[in-house]
Amino acid sequence: MIYLDHSATSPPNEEVLQSYVAVSTRYFANPSSLHKLGVEANALFQQATEQMKQLLKMNQGEVVYTSGGTEANNLAILGYAKKHAHLGKHIVTTNMEHPSVLEACRELEREGFRVTYLPVNKEGQVEMDVLKGALTDETILVSIMHVNNEMGAVQDLRSLKKVIQKNSPAVFHVDAVQSFGKMVVPFGVDGADMMSISAHKINGIRGSGALFLRYRIPLHPMIVGGGQQRNKRSGTIPLAEAVALAKAMRLAICTTERAEYRQWKNRILEHVETLSQIQVVGPKDGAAHITALAIRGIRGEVAVNFLQQRDIIVSTSSACSSLDGSISHVAEALGISKEWAAGIIRISFGTTTNGSDIDRLLHALTALNEQVK
């Protein structure tokens, strides 16, 4: 079986699994407990946190452990907006964000906040003058994803940060779920002030993730109770998940920007140029690990099925929204015509992908093209 759906989830790394099992077995005590076992567990928790901060070159700041990218995005957006509403009630995002960002923003609108949804150009990027025009003294938060999960569009975070700093008092949140471990993510003074990641996108444990804060940013908690994690997220500290996440991050950073990804993507792009019923959608020079294709005249689910019968696993444009059969909001944001928008599939590489997988994929795409002629 050839697995090319790493942007939906990635298989856990064996070293990460070993870390998770070892910590769960040996350091099972609650890190908040005052007895010896609790103190040992807390020491390991602090060690894992420091490892993550070192990986991101965080001299200060915090790591808030979450259940994944969705919770991290919710905590960043809802938590920051609710805590800082007295400073302003204007939020800026884009019209092609992940649903966990868009729905959080819609929730804020219901609570009286004003949200500006920026359009993107044909490459899926925010134009700097458009962002500048949207910012005001009332803007408290800008949330823009680094790499789009459906089409692979990449935002210039450094340029965005400069515009935000010059034209508003806003804090910059970045959903880096699809970019961390695949490419360098600017974080800190010249990049994100808050950054969300998800473990299972980088060969980690599903159900864990983190929100990184470059300095101690006050947040209104979304989960309340015992006041753990500096009262930003209550609940028993997920020690094994934290240690496993630190391991997954370290391994992911070691393989960041694999040259093969760009080579494989270019092979797909060149091959599709020879096919009459399949075309590339989204930016051709976007993220190397994500390629979106559209097949004329059929729905994406049919193409996914066709490839699956040949032992090749891909997804429709987004695994998060593929079940309802609707046309993707990202396809609409990029202005993809209805003739092609219903038949979009996403191919995404990961650590288990190899060159022979791409050979078989290209043969299968040729067969699919002939099938739909």
Q: Which of 223, 280, 319, 320 is catalytic?
A: 320
Q: Which of 91, 53, 45 is closest to 241 using CA atoms?
A: 45
Q: Is 188 left (phi over 0), alpha (psi -120 to 50) or beta?
A: left
Biggest alpha carbon distance in the chain?
70
Query: Do 191 and 157 meet the contact criterion of CB atoms below 8 Å apart?
Result: yes
Query: Do 174 and 145 meet the contact criterion of CB atoms below 8 Å apart?
Result: yes
Query: Which residue type sits at 13?
Result: N
- Has 105 been annotated as catalytic? no
Query: Do 174 and 185 meet the contact criterion of CB atoms below 8 Å apart?
Result: yes
Q: Kindly report the backbone phi and psi dihedral angles of residue 280, in degrees, each rounded to the nearest multiple of 5, phi listed first.
A: -80, 135
Q: Kindly report the backbone phi and psi dihedral angles of residue 173, in degrees, each rounded to the nearest multiple of 5, phi listed first.
A: -105, 135
- Provide the token pair at 353: 């992908």
Q: Which of 58, 63, 66, 108 is closest to 84 using CA atoms?
A: 108
Query: Do 174 and 157 meet the contact criterion of CB atoms below 8 Å apart?
Result: yes
Task: Give DSSP secondary structure letters for 111-155.
Answer: TT-EEEEE---TTS---HHHHHHH--TTEEEEE--SB-TTT--B-
Q: How many CA atoms lie within 13 A of 45 on its CB side?
A: 25
Catalytic residues: 320
